[in-house]
Amino acid sequence: WQSQWIAKDIAVVKIAHKIHSRPSGNSFLSASSGESEFPDNFSHELALAIKCEKGVAIFSPCTHSGIFNVIESCLEFTGESNLLAFVGGLHLVDGCESRDEITSIADDFITGYPHAKLYTGHCTCDSAIKILEKKMGPGKFIMFATGDHYLLP
């Protein structure tokens, strides 16, 4: 399966970038084929990229490939350079990533995408939420739940 446009400004993107770290919580997940079970490499992971007037918004259900691999794959495929928003779970499991690693995610997001907002909820652990919220601030880091409504920038 390859990335493809499904509408004029909407693409389903296969996560091709693998240069950035991936969540350590992936080690708890596996895939199976018939009767055998093996570590999941998440080569099947997809994200939705929507081109807007001022950039792109990315939707990633559970970011097993790592937030920066997902972002870079989507920006490359869409040809956009401006990330407006990343919406999705970060797959950060309590006890897997250190405070320093989560702080680094926040720093890299702020530096690399200064105008973007990070919306997360599903599969982002409480300790990561606290660190990201404190480091990024309420204008940049937004928690969401099913049924919440937001206007993208």
Q: What is the dihedral of CA 119, 69, 78, 132, to 10 degrees?
A: 20
First to last CA, the chain: 31
Print pLDDT tens along the chain (153 aa).
799 999 999 999 999 888 888 867 767 777 777 788 877 677 778 999 999 999 999 999 888 788 999 999 999 999 999 999 999 989 888 888 889 999 999 999 999 999 999 999 878 888 888 999 999 998 899 888 777 766 665
Exposed / middle / buried, residue 91 (Cβ in 10 Å: 0-12, 13-18, 19+): buried
pTM: 0.89
Tokens, residue 108: 């890299």
Please write the tens of the pLDDT for every residue from 40-71.
Answer: 677 778 999 999 999 999 999 888 788 999 99
With tokens 């995610």, the residue in question is 105
DSSP E strand boundaries for 8-54? 10-14, 30-33, 36-39, 46-52
